[in-house]
Structure 1
Amino acid sequence: MSTIMPIIMPVIIGLIAVTLVSLIPEPHRRRVNAVLVAGAGAAYLSGGGLGYWEFVLPVAMTYVAYRGLESWSWIGVGWLLHTAWDVIHHLKGSPILPFAEHSSFGCAICDPVIALWCFAGGPPIIERVRALFARRTEAPANPVP
């Protein structure tokens, strides 16, 4: 069980993040997500361990976030770029949280969850879950004898 938790917890964290952010009404939801992905681009700047290369991601993410102001797909691309940077840091750099050795690994699992939601257009999660359960609890129109 302890070997699966480092994978399950980041997925759960990603689902919680997506659910909370999906509570923001449109048209603000996409713009807030663009700002969040821009901020994620600067996450390693305080000591990521890759020297001057640490400036590459914030520059790229600034462009992606700007494009994300009008496109969910660009925000998804941003989260996948951050995933790649997380993997690099897990293998060669410093963790995103200095006190948590495998935090970049966890972030590399969490970020694609958010990216998938963005590629789906950033839908409101709670409304989708309610609709799913409503369909399951409805009685069939013509019950089979």
Structure 2
Amino acid sequence: MKKRKNTPEIDKRNWDEYVKNPRDIFDKDLESNKSYSKSKIYKFDLHGYSLLDANKKVKEIILSCSEKKYTEILLITGKGIHSNTENNTYVSISLSKLRYSIPEYISSENDLSMRITSIKSAEKEHGGSGALFIKLKKM
């Protein structure tokens, strides 16, 4: 891009005014989290985690969020379409996916299940079947 040597004064004023108050630029993260602002929701993406690592992280998240008075947790699990469990005959395809194993893990851990009100698939705008909403009890 070639830089102009003599920028007209009106262009300079327009630019200064625009920089002070940019109307058509927005923060995508703030915009996408507007629906979360009404309650305290913790969001975490578990893509790339193994089952064992994901379970450890979920336990850590639930205990921490319960302590910090969050009301909900949104866990992004993905839909498992890139999982390579089909190649291992000793692994159950449906049970190896995080979206199935996480609720099972939580219900098997008393210190976690006592903190949970419900676990359900997220609404479509929050990830649908590739995400879980966990509602926490008020402690």
TM range (shorter): under 0.3
Query: Which structure's residues are more often helix, by fraction?
Result: 1
| TM score, norm. by length of structure 1 | 0.26
1 or 2 for the larger relative contact order (CA 8 Å, sep ≥6)? Answer: 1
| TM score, norm. by length of structure 2 | 0.26
Larger radius of gyration: 2
